[in-house]
Amino acid sequence: MLLCIACGLLWFAPAMPTQPTANQSLLAAAEGGDVHAIRRALDDGAAVWCRDETGTTPLVAAAARGRVNAVNELLLAGASIDQQSLPVGAPLHVAVSNGQEKVVALLLRRGAAVDPPNFAGNTPLWIAATTGNVAIVRRLLDAGANPRRRCFGGSTPLDVAPSSGDADVVRLIQTAATTRPAFE
C-alpha cells in the first residue's frame, strides 16, 4: 500500500497473482487428464477428495470428460468411487450422462455401486435409458442394474426408455425387466 502525500489518497497496488493451491492443481489435472500432474498435486499435499467451488471432486471431473487414466489414478490414490458431487451425483452418474463408456466400464470393474440414486433421485440406468446409449445400457444391465427401480417421481428406466428414441435401448431394458426377477 502506498500513500500519495501530494493527493492525500491511498493507493492500493493490485494483488500479485497467486499460485494455485495443491487442490486446485489436482482438480485442473483431473479435468485435463494429466496423470503426471495428478501425482504431482497429490505429492504436494492435495486431498484426493477435495471439491471445487461447485462441489465437484477430481474423480467426477475426470469421469465427466472421459479421462480413463486420470480416473484410474485417482482411484489408486484413494478417491471414493461412489462419492457424490452436487448436483450431478457419483462418478458413474456423470460418466453415463456424458456418454463416457470406457469410464463407465472402468468404474463398474472397480466396484462402483450400479444402482445408487443421484441427488435428483435417478439411477445411472435411468439416465442411460433417457440418453439412448445402447453400449452403456448394456454394461449397466450386465452389472446388475435394476430396470424396474423407481426413481424420483416414480418412473423407472423401463418407463423412460421410449423417450430415448432408440429401439435397441427399449428392447434391452424390456428384455431385462421381463427376464429378471422383480426387485426394488
Q: How confident is the model at residue 88 (pLDDT cuts 50, 70, 90)?
A: confident
**pLDDT tens across 112-144, in order?**
999 999 988 999 999 999 999 999 999 999 999
CA distance 131 to 165: 9
Predicted TM-score of the model (pTM): 0.86
Does the domain spanning 116-184 belong to CATH 1.10.10.10? no
Kindly list the domain boundaries of the chain, sorted by start residue: 21-113, 116-184
CATH level 3 topology of 21-113: 1.25.40
CA distance 147 to 52: 33
Confidence check: pLDDT of 2 > 90? no
Residues 6 or more apart whose CB falls under 8 angstroms from that of 135 comprise 101
Which amino acid appears at position 22 of this protein?
A
**What average pLDDT does the segment 73-96 reach?**
94
What is the chain's length? Answer: 184
21-113 and 116-184 share one CATH topology?
yes
**What average pLDDT does the segment 27-40 reach?**
98
**What average pLDDT does the segment 24-50 reach?**
97
Residues 6 or more apart whose CB falls under 8 angstroms from that of 102 comprise 66, 68
For residue 183, the model assigns a pLDDT of 56
Look-up of cell digits 445402447 = 134
